[in-house]
Chains A and B, each alone.
Chain A
Amino acid sequence: MTPLLALERVGKRFGPLQALDDVSIDLHAGRALALVGESGSGKTTCARILMLQHQPTAGRVLFRGRDVATLDGKGELLAYRRAVQMVFQDPFGSLNPVHTIFHHIARPLSLHAGMADRKALKARVMELLAAVELDAESTAPKYPHQLSGGQRQRVNIARTLAVGAEVVLADEPTSMLDVSIRLGVLNLLERMKRERGMAFLYITHDIATARYVAEEIAVMYAGRIVEWGDTGAVIDSPQHPYTQLLLSAVPDPERPFHGEASQLQSDLVAQARDAARATGGVRQIAGNHFVRAA
């Protein structure tokens, strides 16, 4: 099956820094891929390349199997930008403070969907706000500062629906939200995936939520994907030393700090990081579970 959107052996170099090296990911309709790794590992650079903000220095971006570099300037590129949308980490900085929520949703509708009829426009805005589980009547006239972080993130999601997104790149969409509203937003993403067949790239360093929303997971370190496959397989039987390190560091109330067994050993940490820098071949562990040789 041709993926909806894919990175094919993509590399990106910023001056002396190799930010991405040989990164391949596939995004399929109705599925989510979680990209996990520490800060600086290249997760956001992947998203930026998919948003065509950066040009890869090696490899290709494929949209429905076609190299995006060959999309023609006007119509095709516009269609790509419509289909691939982003939800950012900071819900406080990603909405315009001087416009109402109505404006935030109506604007993409009139620009991208060419909706001119005021009545139809209003009906569509209300429908979209309801689709992201906001109270449409009371929310539409409000300004961003009158909404909570979770509500604002829902507005951002409604905005991606407004332009008719097929792929959503969500860069840490819940990390700035309070714990009690985090799950609600994740459940909304899950519903959009199921009901609308949207494809998600879920960028996070929170492995527990990655397991919650994503069918597949890819673990990045220093610009390279070191292990990938079905989320359950990777988390339950991590093969790469770095994946093992990452998982052992996830807070787990079952394992209090005192007690030698749960201590991270600093030499093992260094070893795992070295292993993650190695440029070995790829080994298949199971049907959909791959690891890069350390």
Chain B
Amino acid sequence: MSPDMSATPEPLLSLQGLTVDYVGDRGDFRAVDDVSFDIGRGEVFGLAGESGCGKSTIAFAITRLHKPPALISGGEIRFDGQDVLRLDGEALRRFRWREVGMVFQSAMNALNPVLTVEAQFRDVLVTHTGCSRAEAHDRAVELMRMVDIDPKRLSDYPHQFSGGMRQRIVIAICLALNPKLIVMDEPTTALDVVVQREILQQIDGLRRKLGFSILFITHDLSLMVQFCDRIGVMLKGRLVEVGAAQQIFRAPAHEYTRKLWASFPSVHGARRTALQDAAEATP
């Protein structure tokens, strides 16, 4: 295990009692209920749970990209010393992308089909840093190399790349401003396992090199244990268990975590399952 298993004394991101409601005609629906967790610097934190449990709502709330009828009705989000819920206008605009990058599930469709890839890098770089065209080009070349795509292809359009490559390009654009945190909501769900593995391995290497933190959201617990340092398990808007990845795998404490594990058949078949491991571990 890596040494940064538990959050450092001064976490990068800290949620305290975050509560998000979807306001409706016939009463509110509490999507996120009193959720607290920290993400340390350089740490990969995973949020697991079924659809509708509130994990994506948290991802949107952190960047304040939640839209009505979603309403943050309580709690606190602190990021690197700032109170995120109090940011406004220009400060909020700077916070997004510069401090926190986002990669969503359908991110490969997030690229503009009628602009070259280079133009889309330039968009982000010029807007946020005010650099020149030439500087933006150099940075784009560097970023493309970082995700193992030939920089010659900067002049290509999105449809000329495969789904996996487009996802890499989105990640590269995300890294353009050296964000401290990247929120990844099911970033590889639409891709096949080999491509998924290649991309996540690359992201893992980059975060070790560059030191950013990741909030990783997926429904695939096995993948999450492989990729994350710590994991939080959500059920109906509540965080029911937080622990080191290997603990969530080998000794899940909450009944629901055990149930979630039991719903995954293992590729090793009848030979062993995490559930059997857990049963053996607790006499």
- List the interface of chain A (C-beta within 8 A of B): 38-39, 178-180, 182-183, 186, 205, 207-209, 211-212, 231-232, 235, 245-253, 255-258, 262-264, 266, 269
Contacts and interface: CB of A to CB of B under 8 A. Distances in A.
A179 B201 contact: no
A266 B198 CA distance: 8
- Residue of B191, B223, B267 with most partner-chain A CB within 10 A: B267
Contacts of B173: none
Interface in B135-181: 148, 163
B265 A232 contact: no
Given A38-B195, A253-B225, A257-B227, A179 B263 contact: yes
Interface in B188-235: 191-198, 200-201, 204, 208, 219-223, 225-227
Contact of A264 (B163, B201, B265): B201
Nearest to B208: A258
Contacts of A251: 193, 220, 222-223, 226
B193 A178 contact: no
B161 to A, nearest CB: 14
Interface residues of B, number: 38
Contacts of A246: 193-194
Which 5 pairs between the two chains have the least Cβ-Cβ distance? A253-B225, A251-B223, A212-B265, A38-B192, A251-B222
A208 B195 contact: no
Given A264-B197, A269-B198, A253 B267 contact: no
Contact of B192 (A179, A205, A247, A266): A205
A180 B49 CA distance: 10
A214 to B, nearest CB: 11
B267 A247 contact: yes
Contacts of A182: 263
A249 B194 contact: yes
Given A38-B195, A252-B222, 4 more contacts: A179-B221, A179-B264, A208-B266, A264-B197
B181 to A, nearest CB: 19
A183 B263 contact: yes
Contacts of B82: none
Interface in B243-259: 245-246, 249, 259
Given A39-B192, A208-B265, A250-B267, A180 B260 contact: yes
22 contacts: A39-B163, A178-B219, A179-B220, A179-B264, A182-B263, A183-B265, A211-B266, A211-B269, A231-B269, A235-B269, A246-B193, A249-B194, A249-B198, A251-B226, A252-B267, A253-B274, A256-B225, A256-B246, A257-B227, A266-B148, A269-B194, A269-B198
A245 B194 contact: yes
Given A246-B194, A251-B220, A207 B201 contact: no
Given A178-B219, A180-B263, A208-B266, A252 B226 contact: yes
A180 B226 contact: no
A266 B249 CA distance: 28
B50 A180 contact: yes
A209 B265 contact: yes
B2 interface: yes
B8 interface: no
Contacts of B249: 253
A263 to B, nearest CB: 6
Contacts of B260: 179-180
B263 A235 contact: no
Interface in B26-83: 50-51
Contacts of A180: 50, 259-260, 263
A248 B51 CA distance: 27
A38 B222 contact: no
B193 A250 contact: yes
A249 B263 contact: no
A177 B3 CA distance: 36
A178 to B, nearest CB: 5
- Residue of B197, B249, B263 with most partner-chain A CB within 10 A: B197
B193 to A, nearest CB: 4
Contacts of B219: 178-179
A266 B222 CA distance: 22
A17 B267 CA distance: 33
A257 B264 contact: no
- Residue of B191, B195, B219, B266 with most partner-chain A CB within 10 A: B266
Given A180-B259, A253-B274, A258 B2 contact: yes
A174 B267 CA distance: 16
A178 B51 contact: yes
A205 B189 CA distance: 12
A38 B196 CA distance: 11
A255 B204 CA distance: 14
A58 B253 CA distance: 56
Given A179-B264, A205-B192, A269-B194, A257 B204 contact: yes
Nearest to B163: A39
Nearest to A242: B194
Nearest to A258: B2
A257 B194 CA distance: 14
Contacts of A179: 50, 219-221, 260, 263-264
Contacts of A253: 221-222, 225-226, 245, 249, 274
